[in-house]
Structure 1
Amino acid sequence: MKKIIVGSLALLFVAGCHGGMDQDPLKDQPDNVRKGVPPNEKPKEDRNPVPRDAMRLEVEPEVVSLVEGQEGQFTIKADILGFDKEEYTVEIKNLPEGAVFDQATGKVNWTPVTDMVIGDDYMETYQLIVQMSTLKKPIMSIVRKVPIFIQRDAIRPEIVKVHLPNEVQEGREIQFTVQVRDVDSTDGTLHRFREPHLTVVQTEDTARDGSHLVRLMPSTRDNPNPRRLDPADPTYDPNLWIYTLRVDARNKELTTSRENFKFGLIATSRFGLPSAEGGVPSKPKAVSVAIVSKTPKPLTSWPDEVVEFKANEQTTFTWDVFSPLGGLSFRSSPEGDGDLEDPQVLETCAEGLPGVAKCSCAKAEPWRYHCRMTWTPPTAEPGKDEFNVAFRVVNRGRFRPTDKETSEFLKKVKIVP
């Protein structure tokens, strides 16, 4: 009897399971029950597929620099990489007063107020906070702080004039002055802030660089550098500064009679603004200086040893006087070394020597004379066998007639048996 009952129950169980295999027991249940959400909770929405790393906020230009009182413009660019159709918004959390932000184009127009930069600073930094957010929930956002550099509305210094001679002679040094006007060096009550800074720099023409030849003179209590004009001067300008500089060509050796060198000048205000011309920022002011070869002292080939002449015999001795650089082949313009004047015999020779003597010089080149001494001395008296022969030579500059160098020579001759 038990076996019959158990078998019947098993048969009913199998039949019941087989009949319900194709049925969904949650078919008619609400969504929260189907998703396993308790009745007191709402089902979760789909996850936003936009990753935060794909969201981009950029500013153009990369460095935004504006000037007090002048309207400037920059652009905020937003994008979601790989999600071109995804919608988003861009918002500036701290848009400064007076600035206008066009969300359609991303352009920001702003005229910073005057006196935004205070004190002795030249620049102020304003941190612009920009937020980008997706419209699709859950909302994804990124925030970027954009530094906006606000420059002081300052006038740049200007190099007004350079008082430099036309030329500097090789082996010498000269001083010259530079005038710089800087309206930010004083205020309206003529209170002095700080004078501009003058710097000597190289120019683009490095082959003719002469910046190493120029330097600022040191400043002392008695001779301040820079200095101002005397207030009693009718041309006095409280914003005009006069600098004293020096061109040093003492160690400069030229290979031609004249060479031009260039150097640059930059005047910098207390705010770090480099000089400008006509209010427009410019390259360093290029200055040219000509260095001309010096007129050298004449030399002679007459040796320092005593020149001997035999008694009662006619003897001829020859020597040269010359400009030491005139005949060098590497000098392209040897005529720049000057012209020798006729050598002058100062003592002895034809008149002071015993016997028959004659001294003469003939020009061989503008920079060279050939000289000769012909002498037939008598037998020397005891203790009177040595005599002096002196002569003077003048080398005069061809391009500068007032530039001349003189050499005087004293040589000895001796009568020997």
Structure 2
Amino acid sequence: MPENADRPIKTLLRRLAMDISPLRDSRDFRLLFGSGLITMFGTFLTLVAVPLQMKELTDSYLAVGLVSLAEFVPMVVCGLWGGAIADALDRRKIILLTEVGLCLTVTVLTVNALLPNPQVWVLYVVGALSAGLGSLQRPSLESLVPRVVRHDQLAAAAALGAFRWNLGAIVAPGLSGLIAAWFGVAVAYGVNVVTFLASLVLLWMVRAQPRPEDTPSASIRSLVEGVRYAVGRPDLMGTYLVDIAAMIFAFSTALYPFLADELGAHEALGLFYSASAIGSLIASVTSGWTAHVHRHGLGVIIAAAVWGVAVALAALMPNVWGIFAFLAVAGAADMISGVFRSTIWNQTIPDEFRGRLAGIELLSYTSGPMLGNARAGLMAGIGGARFSLGAGGLLCVGAVAAMAALLPRFRTYDARTDEHAIRERARREEEAARA
């Protein structure tokens, strides 16, 4: 066998291997990545502990469900306002202050859990406060990444962020459940306080980023300006609309318990819930090829269509592992779509608008799953769980095709020739030369 016969395989493996250059080259990105990894575990602790404690205190399905409802309005309002203040104020200070606030909310939960008679209202109030603070923080965090990562490494940074999330989504819920079940919710909350303190240390070490002198003040007017900017960019609108359409029509986690019952395999429920995260994780660790893609709009369209097709095929599978496999494929496609959407956002949005548009992005990828589960439930009431799953996947493909036809600027987006990408690349190179 020739010595260089395996060279094509090695080349392929290099192209598939995850690009970790942002972690290698950017100290501040390493700090943000480490902080996010720590707080993700702590956040899952609270996500598991709050409904568990609510169930223990009330034994009411309605009471547990109302926790999410209490969080929804603060999430929406603070997500938009968080984008406005991210463009008006020091993003690092916003991140630190909201992290302190989040730490205090979990401290209140810990104290409440240690009381002889924990109060139910505390869970609702603190849940709403935590959701609001998290939404205030998120736009500043996301808009800080393009400031600390090189322009040509933004796709790799997005893939690393997805890897962190998917790894946490697979490992953290199980560990969180064990801690809450074995040691009690007070210990779970207490561990979360420690994770926030550790995260604060890392965030404090992130260097402050200079702000332009002409930054707009945080106001309703500045929010409207951000919306107008987004609406005036068909390529950006494509990233929002395709993702919302894909989630509304094909996001169907509410159906998983019914699918498990239908198959007579209640133990499969956990597999169904983890399938998407496992598929996303596999796509993350083999995401090196995404750095060589320049037609990111077309990439989002194809990935969203694959997501819909995979969901539709899952509805046809006769057994647990068939459904699991296609849900994993759907998760991988969703992860790739997310990488390309993040790349378009971070490579083309001017820094003065980055926070406000991060607020819009937050709403687009949080409201879609909520609406998707509502759609899934309504359609399941008409024709059953498999009908809802399959029809939703096909509707997703149709909606994505319609968006691709209606938004040619999004479909033909090319990072090498797009005016906004070229302008941002030149600005970043100029800043680097002055530094």
The TM-score normalised by the length of structure 2 is 0.16
Larger-gyration structure (1/2): 1
Larger helix fraction of residues: 2
